[in-house]
Amino acid sequence: MRPDSHRTGDVGASKVRTLFLESGWVVNDIVSDYGEDVVIQPSRLGVVEKHRVYVQIKTISDDRNRAISIKSEDAFVWQFSKEPFLLVAWSISSNSARYIWINRERDPKRYVAEKKTVSFQWRNMHDLSPKAILHIEAEARNWHYSEILSSLARFIEENGGYKKRDSSRSNIDAKQAAARIACIMLEKDGVFLKKGKNYYANIYYILKYIDTLVVENDLLCKSTGKRYRFNSLWWSVGIVRHAWNDLYGNEPSPGIYWSLVNSVEALIGQNPAFRRLIGGRRRQILDAEP
Q: pLDDT 10s digit of each residue in the chain, 290 long?
A: 445 454 566 788 899 999 999 999 999 998 876 688 999 999 877 788 888 999 999 998 887 768 899 898 898 989 998 899 999 999 988 899 999 999 888 888 887 767 788 889 999 999 999 999 988 988 888 888 888 888 888 888 887 776 666 567 888 888 888 888 899 889 888 889 998 889 989 988 888 888 888 888 877 777 777 777 778 888 888 888 888 888 887 778 777 888 888 899 888 888 888 888 888 887 887 777 66
Q: How far is CA 274 from CA 2, 26, 66, 212, 269, in A?
A: 67, 40, 54, 15, 7
Cβ contacts of residue 250 below 8 Å, gap of 6+? 244
70 contacts 76 by C-beta, under 8 angstroms: no
- Of 1.10.3210.10, 3.40.1350.10, 3.40.640.10, 3.40.50.720, the CATH number of 4-128 is 3.40.1350.10
With the C-alpha atoms ordered 41, 44, 47, 50, is the resulting torsion angle positive or negative? negative
Q: What is d(CA 58, CA 139) in angstroms, rounded to the nearest whole number?
A: 23
Q: What is d(CA 228, CA 223) in angstroms, rounded to the nearest whole number?
A: 12
Backbone angles phi, psi at 201, to 5 degrees: -70, 140
Single-letter amino acid, residue 269: G
HSE (side-chain half, CA atoms, 13 Å) at 146: 15
Cβ contacts of residue 241 below 8 Å, gap of 6+? 251
Please give the pLDDT value at position 226: 75
248 contacts 138 by C-beta, under 8 angstroms: yes
Residue ranges of the chain assigned to CATH 3.40.1350.10? 4-128
Please give the pLDDT value at position 55: 94
- What is 211-270 written as a DSSP string? HHHHHHHHHHHHHHTPPP---HHHHHHHHHHHHHHHHHSSPPPHHHHHHHHHHHIIIIIT
The length of the chain, given as a count of residues:
290
Backbone angles phi, psi at 198, to 5 degrees: -105, 150
Query: What is the pTM for the complete model shown?
Result: 0.76
Calculate the CA 242 to chain-centre distance: 15
Task: Please state whether beta strands 85-91 and 53-60 pair in parallel, antiparallel, or not at all (unpaired).
Answer: parallel
106 contacts 79 by C-beta, under 8 angstroms: yes
Q: What is d(CA 207, CA 204) in angstroms, rounded to the nearest whole number?
A: 5
